[in-house]
C-alpha cells in the first residue's frame, strides 16, 4: 500500500465547456482530497483543452479518481503521473521594495544563482520572475525574505510527458473510427 503523501500529477484532456473545472473538482471534494495546484490551457490538438492538477494521495485512490474523471461526458481522457514520468515547471513572481534591493550588494548574485529574471523595476517595487520546480521557487522565496517580499504568487504546475505525442491521440483516433462507422 502506498503511503498517503505521494504528489501525483493529473492531466485531463477535455472539451472546453463551462463548468468543466467544477466537474473535475467535485470528484476530489467527495473524497476529501485537496487539489494542490491547477492550471488549464489548450494543448497541441486543436479544440482540446488540457487541465493539469496536483494532489497528495495514494495510488489506489488516485486511480479511482482518474476513472471517475474519465466518466464525465466532457472529458476525453485523464492520466496519472508521478514526478519521474514527466517534465514539469511552475512559475513564481515576487514583488520586493526596490530600495531594499539597491541597498544590498547581493542582488545580482541572487538573481544569477537562481536563474531568475527581473520583469519590471519601478521606483517603489521590483518584480522578479523565477521558473522552476516548487523547491526552487521556494528557495528563492526564502532568500528574498529579508528584502521584505510584498507580494508572492506561484502558478499551478504545467507538465509534459516523456512520450512522443499527446496521449489522448489514440482515444481520438478510435473515436474518429467510431464516427465513421456511425456514418457521419
Binding residues (CB under 8 A) for other proteins: these are 14-15, 18-19, 22-23, 26, 30, 63-64, 67-68, 70-71, 73-76, 172, 174-175, 178-179, 182, 184
Q: Hey, what's the cell of 59?
A: 495510488
Residue with cell 476529501: 32
CA dist., res. 136 & res. 92, Å (int): 10
Q: CB 82 → other proteins: shortest distance, Å?
A: 19
CA-closest candidate to residue 142, choices 183, 114, 117: 114
The residues, ordered by sequence, that sit 6+ positions from 127 with a Cβ below 8 Å of its Cβ are 93, 94, 95, 118, 119, 120, 121
> Nearer Cβ to other proteins, position 113 or 179?
179
| CB crowding 117-137: b at 16 or more within 10 Å, else e | eeeeeeeeebbbebebebebb
Least Å distance, CB 72 to other proteins, is 8
Q: Which is nearer to other proteins, 14 or 126 (CB)?
A: 14
For residue 169, the minimal CB distance to other proteins (Å) is 13
* Residue 141 vs 171, nearer CB to other proteins: 171
Of the pair 30, 133, the CB lying nearest other proteins is at: 30
CB of 171 to other proteins, least distance (A): 8
Residue 41: CB minimum distance to other proteins, A: 18
Question: Dihedral through CA 8, CA 83, CA 76, CA 56, nearest 10?
Answer: 10
Nine-digit cell string for 56: 497528495
When the beta carbons of 133 and 165 are compared against other proteins, the nearer one is 165
Amino acid at each position: 500500500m502506498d503511503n498517503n503523501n505521494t504528489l501525483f500529477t493529473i492531466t485531463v484532456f477535455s472539451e472546453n465547456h463551462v463548468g468543466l473545472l467544477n466537474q473535475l473538482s467535485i470528484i476530489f471534494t467527495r473524497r476529501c482530497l485537496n487539489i494542490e495546484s491547477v492550471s488549464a490551457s489548450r494543448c497541441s490538438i486543436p479544440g482540446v483543452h488540457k487541465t493539469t492538477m496536483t494532489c497528495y494521495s495514494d495510488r489506489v485512490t488516485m486511480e479511482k479518481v482518474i476513472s471517475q474523471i474519465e466518466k464525465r461526458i466532457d472529458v476525453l481522457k485523464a492520466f496519472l503521473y508521478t514526478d519521474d514520468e514527466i517534465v514539469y515547471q511552475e512559475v513564481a513572481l515576487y514583488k520586493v521594495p526596490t530600495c531594499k534591493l539597491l541597498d544590498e550588494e547581493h542582488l545580482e548574485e541572487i538573481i544569477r544563482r537562481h536563474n531568475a529574471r527581473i520583469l519590471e523595476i519601478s521606483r517603489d517595487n521590483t518584480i522578479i520572475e523565477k521558473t522552476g520546480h516548487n523547491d526552487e521557487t521556494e528557495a528563492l522565496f526564502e532568500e528574498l525574505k529579508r528584502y521584505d517580499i510584498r507580494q508572492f504568487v506561484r502558478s499551478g504546475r504545467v507538465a509534459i510527458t516523456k512520450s512522443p505525442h499527446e496521449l489522448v491521440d489514440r482515444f481520438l483516433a478510435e473515436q474518429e473510427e467510431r464516427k465513421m462507422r456511425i456514418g457521419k
